[in-house]
Chain A
Amino acid sequence: MLFEARHVTKRYGGLVAVSDVSFQHREGEILGLIGPNGAGKTTLINLISGTQEPTSGALLFEGKPLRGLAPYRRAHLGIGRTFQIMKPFPGLSVLDNVTAGALFGREPERAMPPARDAAARWLAFVGLADKAQQPAEALGGPDRKRLELAKALALQPRLLLLDEVMAGLNAVEIGEVVDLIRRIRDSGTTILVIEHVVKAIRELSDRLLVLQYGQLIAEGTADEVLDDPRVIEAYLGRRRH
């Protein structure tokens, strides 16, 4: 078991964002996380990556509790993430954005030239090699998504948390990203992916988790879960309105 959540709850004052969520994430598995807006998906990723701490419950990475570890320590352990609202380093070049990951991730490079080489390889992997020297600010939407992915990959994560990396992409671009995520998994990375694009999540996920109002309401293979009437009502049903 690479990662496990045990009865994790996150409260903000009276509001419960994540409520008693437990699940297990096997090594090499792509786990899909779906649910309506405000269901607590991003909060869950924040709790795992360490930008927030759970109010109660435990998060275990390779059997060891994560509580109290700062986000950068979790990155060193091998937890990498992307942000739904993308957060590139605006004044740095595309290449240097990724170099940060190569310098400070798991098994980091300690010197600049090899770190830049590694960053260039990750940019080639996501298909941004020709834009390496551009300022990150200048990138358009789809390319920003790729950059966000390359930054997280440069950390060489063992567990990669993807927060809506396909939002705003067209069908062709989504196909490319789905293919990319598969290749990342095949290279040995375990992936948790939040996504609204149902077709993509069905293609990708080995298993699916469904959150609603912070609670885990369904868990299983994509086909089982997406046919569950509760899920259709809670999530797909709402989307139809």
Chain B
Amino acid sequence: MKALVWVLALLAVAALAAVPFTLSPVLVQFGISTLLLAVLAQGWNIIGGFTGYASFGNSVFYGLGTYGTAVAMVQFKLPFAVGLAVGAAVSVLFALVLGLPVLRLRGHYFAITTLALSEAVAAIISNLDIAGRNTGLILPLIRGDTMFYELSLGLMVLATLTVLWLSRSRFGFGLIAIREREDAAEVMGIPTTLYKVLAFGLAALFSALAGGIHAYWITFIDPASAFDISLNVRMIIMAVFGGAGTVIGPVIGAFLLSGISEVLASYVTGVASLFFGLVIVAAVLFTPRGVIDAVRRLPRRGLAYFLDAVRETRL
């Protein structure tokens, strides 16, 4: 059984890796943005799904990764790999320093503070000359969708393996205990502050790398797109829709929801975003525990699953 899962996972990765060589360029571009969204969803999964801190500030990590990479490449003419490292370093440092005070807050207060943090950083960036102020930066043009695709796939696999490790390691176990009951976790010998900050940093690392890859691929960045709050909400919805705190759920959520919004965009051009909003509402209402849970239980429970899900959470 276990071996079968691994074989299937390897086959799935191999099939995904073959996409640029077999399918259309449009699909490759869709693939890049979907894979990067899956990385972001996994990043959120680490701090939100495992540790239980509903972060609305992961878009800051993404934005700092974006800008770190772009500034290094445009203003200092550094190569892409170095830029990526700079972006990741800035973002992780930010997470570690800000995490200390911010992770003392709980529930809604944490959510709102991280939200405000991302807006505040966006406002500061749009006043910095080195970051191109409001107009943003233009990165050196490079043609290489295949390279970006494989890079994104590699990052997604790495993020998922990290989450797999979390689900089976002492560190990940500590994070789950913090999610379940933080004060009890602390007297059980878990260094809660350290673990939370490390989880925040890990989430920042993956979000920043995704941001850096996206910046070089899209070749143009500005504060509005780099620090887009709705991107943060999309990572949450993907993680929650797929199954927060599971290993593969956020990836499935990202693929399903990206697919849905892509199909909507091509059929009902003008109202795609509107439908996406409706999909969010319906998804959360009917599968509050994520699709993984739904797929597992749907065959046995049938349509009653959805009714039970609603009944369980209604007033």
Contact = CB atoms under 8 A, between A and B. Distances in A.
Interface of B is mostly: helix
B55 to A, nearest CB: 19
Interface residues of A, number: 32
B180 A72 contact: no
A177 interface: no
Contacts of B174: 100, 103-104
B189 A112 contact: no
A6 interface: no
20 contacts: A71-B186, A71-B187, A72-B191, A75-B187, A75-B189, A76-B189, A83-B184, A87-B183, A87-B184, A89-B177, A89-B181, A100-B173, A100-B174, A100-B185, A100-B188, A104-B170, A106-B189, A110-B170, A112-B173, A155-B188
A151 B174 CA distance: 14
A72 B186 contact: yes
A49 B187 contact: yes
Contact of B186 (A51, A96, A112, A151): A51
Contacts of B180: 89-92
A10 interface: no
A108 B187 CA distance: 14
Contacts of B191: 70, 72
Contact of B190 (A72, A87, A91, A96): A72
Interface of A: 49-51, 70-72, 75-76, 80-81, 83, 87-92, 96, 99-101, 103-106, 108, 110-112, 115, 151, 155
Contacts of A110: 170
Contact of A103 (B173, B186, B187, B193): B173
Contacts of B187: 49-51, 71-72, 75, 80-81
Contact of A100 (B168, B177, B183, B193): B177
B162 interface: no
B99 to A, nearest CB: 17
Contacts of B181: 87-90
A115 B170 CA distance: 9
Contacts of B188: 72, 75, 100-101, 104-105, 151, 155
